[in-house]
Amino acid sequence: MKILFLDQSGKPGGAELCLIDIAKPYRDRSLVGLFADGDFRKLLQQHDIPVEILANQPIQVRKQSNFLQSLASVGQIAPLLAKVVQTAKKYDVIYANTQKALVIGALASFLARRPLVYHLHDILSSEHFSQTNLRIAVTLANYFASLVIANSQASQTAFVQAGGQEKLTEIVYNGFDSQNYQTSEFEVKKIREQLGLEGKFVVGHFSRLAPWKGQHILIAALSECPPEVTVILVGDALFGEQDYVQQLHEQVAKLGLENRVKFLGFRADVPQLMAACNLVAHTSTAPEPFGRVIVEAMLCGKPVVAAKAGGAIELVEHGVNGFLVTPGESQELAQVINTCVAETEMTASIANRGKAIASVRFDIVAINQQIAKLLNQLSDDYKPTNSRDSKSVS
């Protein structure tokens, strides 16, 4: 089976990291087509995954764009669509990994007569998308996709509630290679020394800096924790959210926490930084479709406290393999942090249980087998309508 993967981003986010793992088994018979250049292309090349930049400029449509703003992008979409259609005819399946990729992939699927797979990494709700973009995504998926892979029950439920056809969907959680999350004690000690974290109880937060990711909630909670508790914020602002970064710095200064909050920006050594933490916090104020950071922290053997909403509920059982708190409640978060500081044996037991469960439940080999089975079934079911332009999908 030859697969044309499509992704809108030049920057590596959760959906893009997931795509790397999915594309690896097909790298000798696939292509990842990107709609923008950037570090994601470099990551794909490092993994020997064929990649091509298909667009001359990024599509200027965002999750909250209205109809007129979406319509204004037609001039950008037309040449990109032509390129994708031409490329798709060399492959057996189009695999759209993001929402903009769905738009192009759906039209290309019709024009090139190739089956379309849509990997849903989002919660399609008004909290994250404009009504225009919701209607576009659901309509295109319903009419053109042969399969919608949802990365959680929460994502599938939101898709159906937005009008998506449940019969198209299959739930496949993100997969992880646990070997990528093994860090030696020597490395941990070195990182702690470099960052001045010796003797500290370190709470790590790993995501882009954005209001809905809730870094401000963690900072507010920190003000109610003992002096040895320190926070590291790993990630940077995207999509014009620099004002929020300034607000975070002002909040830190107002609370007198300058020596207890470290802004580390974007880092490539996330597993090593997680290993240097005593606790990893997930504080999103809106439901996450999955919560990649949660599983990564578990695989690093670290306890996790997560906001009780969306996909996080499917990953964490409170008091068993992690902790859950009400989204936006800084006092509740502070209570969990303080419990972890005081009850180290109990916390270590929960972390160990989380690692054992995550290593099995989200094993990349098993996850890729699920996806391969779905793709093979798709190829068996798909009957091209134009025999002149068809290929055997195998």
- Through-space distance between the first and last CA atoms of the chain, rounded to whole angstroms: 4
Residue 155: in which H helix or E strand, if any?
helix 153-161
Contact 354, 304 (CB under 8 A): yes
386: how many CB neighbours lie within 10 A of its CB? 8
Contact 228, 199 (CB under 8 A): yes
Cα separation of 309 and 286, whole Å?
Answer: 7
Cα separation of 1 and 96, whole Å?
Answer: 16
Cα separation of 77 and 70, whole Å?
Answer: 10
For 4-35, how does the pLDDT look when each residue is reduced to its tens digit (9 = 90+)?
Answer: 999 998 888 889 999 999 999 999 999 999 99
Q: What is the pLDDT of residue 75?
A: 56
Contact 274, 280 (CB under 8 A): yes
Cα separation of 97 and 23, whole Å?
Answer: 11
Task: Classify burial at 388, counting beta carbons within 10 Å of its beta carbon; exposed 0-12, middle 13-18, buried 19 or more.
Answer: exposed
Cα separation of 37 and 39, whole Å?
Answer: 7
Cα separation of 108 and 93, whole Å?
Answer: 11
Non-local (6+) Cβ contacts of 22 within 8 A are: 5, 95, 119, 175, 368, 371
Domains and their CATH numbers in the chain: 3-175+363-389 (3.40.50.2000), 178-361 (3.40.50.2000)
351: how many CB neighbours lie within 10 A of its CB? 23
Residues of the chain predicted below pLDDT 50:
61, 63-72, 384-394
The token duo for 73 is 């992008």
Q: What region does 256 belong to: left with phi over 0, alpha with psi -120 to 50, or beta?
A: left
Q: DSSP string covering 290-341, please? A: S-HHHHHHHHTT--EEEESSTTHHHH--BTTTBEEE-TT-HHHHHHHHHHHH
Q: Describe the strand order of the beta sheet including 261-265 as a list of residue ranges.
A: 261-265, 229-234, 201-206, 279-282, 304-307, 323-325
What's the gap between Cα 39 and its chain centre?
16
